[in-house]
Amino acid sequence: MLPIDQLLKAMHSLGADRLVLEAGKNAFVVTPVGTKDITKSPLTPYDVFRLVSPIMPESKKVDLVGKPSTSFQYSPEGMSTVEVAITKESNGIKAIFSPALPRAKPLLMAQPLTTDEPPPMAQPVRPLPPKAIPTAQPLQEPSTVSAQTVPLPPVGKPQPSKVQEPVSHPAAELPSTPPQQPTGTTDTTAPLPQHVSVSDSEKPLNLPPALTLKRASGPLPSLTLSTAPKSPSLTDREKVKLELEKLLERAVKMKCSDVHLATGAPPILRRFGSLIRLEAEAMDIDKARLLVKEILTEEQFKKFDSEGDLDFSYELVGIGRFRANVLRQHRGIDLTFHVVPSEILPPEALGLPSLVRELTRYHQGLILVTGPAGQGKSTTIASLVDVINSERPLHVITIEDPIEFVHSINKRAIVNQREVGRHTLSYANALRAALREDPDVLVVGELRDPETISLAVTAAETGHLVMGTLMTSSAHQTIERILESFPPSQQNQIRTMLSESLRAVISQRLIPLVDDSGMVLAAEILLGTPAVANLIRDKKTFQIPSIMQTSRNIGMKRMDDALLELVQSRKITLQRALEYAVDKKQLELLAARG
């Protein structure tokens, strides 16, 4: 795939008005005589993302949170600036490049008059015939009526030397014609402000309501402006909420994954797997209580107050969504915010092999995404759901705790998202109800207990495609975990059910890149082949890694193989790979061979 600058050069060389990048179509340009393809094959969603992402400012990526489009300017080296318009589509993003229009020059501001030479209107005004100009009547000055429009006194009129109290004037409409001055006389005793001409001084001065007029003593009147009182200060609860919003916005811009707020400690961010302690004030218990009361609903706070911990989702418009948890601990209260990515990326953009997309074509079966906490399981599940939402007219029901990614309702599928605690009592309750709600796909945020696992496997056997997550470290350990969650009397039955319904297990880890500029995904892939089904039924799950090694030609991959590929492509260091490897000596030996 050509880099974006090469595509833009092609656009300029062809004299085109636009360059369009859209998934499912060749990159093409729009010329005065029609369109012309400039790539030989259609772009995938990942191709478009890979071309646009490097030149897209981070602030514009943040702008796309909850917004359908954004735009920015890009200046390729050696070429003129282009305007880039990004819009969200059902299968990714669409980018349109067009020459940037020249910006209009700002209007010249009026220059202040100087004292070196008189202004153009400073000459005496000759009198007109008496009937041409009506005589302006002087205004009577009330004493206590509020005013917003105050006339300046006539130039040269003497004023008393006694300091007067602030006087308000009624909002009266003056005659449009200025009062007539005597012929051939001017008053030079009071210099006018440099930005006001003589003719302007005869017009009423419109002051904003927030300003008060005071008169000071002296030979001629002068204006003293005092500002009105400031708006009431924020409450303590509003202040701590504002501090939280600024901290979360900073975390998103820094590409952090988690934010920790613990009583007795300053804010701590997790960025690319490492914790960063900010230089800030430690949060005390009173501030923590105020913050919790401000961001939780009344119902949520009652639950936290009675149970001591709570999972919830938190959203900041224009910044992002966060999966949050609040708990009591021995020093006070601890809050954790996990950053939910602003976009649902296709599997290929996440670093998953292309065969993962094919898993969404199944009509029934069980697909499991596993790994420790914070390893991108929810992101992978959301990507698979988005593929279904974009390509197939199905009914999808998700059960989450809490809801993280929000799926569009304007694509091909119907996606109903339910949150445990808000929309249903438990995963098990929601699964039992879902079987009577005509679903095609069921998504279980976490398979936590035997009842939820049993219902999920049953749903997969009865003709539904079920996707769920488990906190396990490998594919074959996932199968053992499911089997061991049932009593011995039920294990034979669950073995048979699992062997027939299992379609795939994706076990994944996020590993820091060599330059610590981000994270890369290492994924172990187990497919539900007949050989794997036989091992599950025959209680020989310990042989599954051997089957995975001998079945690499059909897409299976062990974690050690995935780590070796990342080391050989120089995306991660060998030391990092050894931290996650199952057979460390074998991995080190293979890496040494090159």
Q: Within this chain, do residues 427 and 531 fall inside the same structural domain, yes or no?
A: yes
Q: Which domain holds residue 60?
A: 4-99
Closest CA to 46 of 387, 381, 361: 387
Per-residue pLDDT of the chain (594 residues; tens, 9 = 90+): 578 888 888 888 888 889 999 888 889 989 888 888 888 888 877 778 878 888 888 778 767 766 788 889 998 888 889 999 998 876 678 899 998 876 544 444 444 444 444 444 544 545 555 544 444 454 444 444 444 444 444 544 444 444 444 444 443 344 444 444 444 444 444 444 444 444 444 444 444 444 343 444 444 343 333 344 444 456 777 888 888 989 999 999 888 999 999 999 999 999 988 899 988 888 889 889 989 998 998 889 999 989 999 999 898 877 888 999 999 998 899 999 999 987 889 999 999 998 999 999 999 999 999 998 889 999 999 999 999 999 999 999 999 988 888 898 889 999 999 998 888 988 889 999 998 899 999 999 989 888 899 899 999 988 899 999 999 989 989 999 999 888 888 888 899 999 999 999 999 999 999 988 889 999 999 999 999 999 999 989 989 999 999 999 999 999 999 999 999 999 999 999 999 999 999 999 998 886
Predicted local confidence at residue 182, as pLDDT:
43
Predicted local confidence at residue 234, as pLDDT:
64
Q: For the domain that residue 310 is a member of, what is the CATH number?
A: 3.30.450.90
Closest CA to 292 of 282, 280, 304, 281: 304
Q: Within this chain, do residues 336 and 400 fall inside the same structural domain, yes or no?
A: no
As for how many domains the chain has, the answer is: 3
Q: What is the pTM of this model?
A: 0.60
Q: Within this chain, do residues 248 and 332 fall inside the same structural domain, yes or no?
A: yes
Which tokens in the block code for residue 412? 């091909």
Q: Which residues of 368-403 are buried (b: 16+ CB within 10 A; e: fewer)?
A: bbbbeeebbbbbbbbbbbbbbbbbbebebbbbbbbb
Q: Within this chain, do residues 480 and 503 fall inside the same structural domain, yes or no?
A: yes
Is 45 part of any domain?
Answer: yes
Q: Within this chain, do residues 313 and 366 fall inside the same structural domain, yes or no?
A: no
Is 125 part of any domain?
Answer: no
Is 361 part of any domain?
Answer: yes
Q: Within this chain, do residues 412 and 296 fall inside the same structural domain, yes or no?
A: no
- 526, 356 in Cβ contact below 8 A? no
- 517, 532 in Cβ contact below 8 A? no
CA distance 282 to 287: 10
Closest CA to 304 of 315, 316, 293: 293
The residue out of 64, 99, 134 marking a domain boundary is 99
Q: Within this chain, do residues 429 and 285 fall inside the same structural domain, yes or no?
A: no
Is 168 part of any domain?
Answer: no
Predicted local confidence at residue 101, as pLDDT:
72
Is 79 part of any domain?
Answer: yes
- Check residue 156 and give left, alpha or beta (phi > 0: left; psi -120 to 50: alpha): left
User: Which residues does residue 215 pair with via DSSP β-bridges, in sequence order?
Assistant: 223
Is 39 part of any domain?
Answer: yes
- 474, 582 in Cβ contact below 8 A? yes
The residue out of 340, 355, 390 marking a domain boundary is 340
Edge-first strand order for the sheet with 274-277 is 274-277, 268-271, 258-262, 332-340, 320-329, 309-316
Which tokens in the block code for residue 469? 């997550």
Is 484 part of any domain?
Answer: yes
Q: Within this chain, do residues 296 and 421 fall inside the same structural domain, yes or no?
A: no
Predicted local confidence at residue 79, as pLDDT:
85
Q: For the domain that residue 551 is a member of, what is the CATH number?
A: 3.40.50.300
Q: Within this chain, do residues 371 and 407 fall inside the same structural domain, yes or no?
A: yes
The residue out of 321, 340, 359 marking a domain boundary is 340
Is 577 part of any domain?
Answer: no
CA distance 483 to 563: 28
Q: Within this chain, do residues 252 and 267 fall inside the same structural domain, yes or no?
A: yes
Q: Within this chain, do residues 322 and 359 fall inside the same structural domain, yes or no?
A: no
Predicted local confidence at residue 129, as pLDDT:
53
Q: How far is CA 417 from CA 248, 270, 460, in A?
A: 25, 28, 19
Q: Within this chain, do residues 257 and 288 fall inside the same structural domain, yes or no?
A: yes
- Check residue 255 and give left, alpha or beta (phi > 0: left; psi -120 to 50: alpha): left
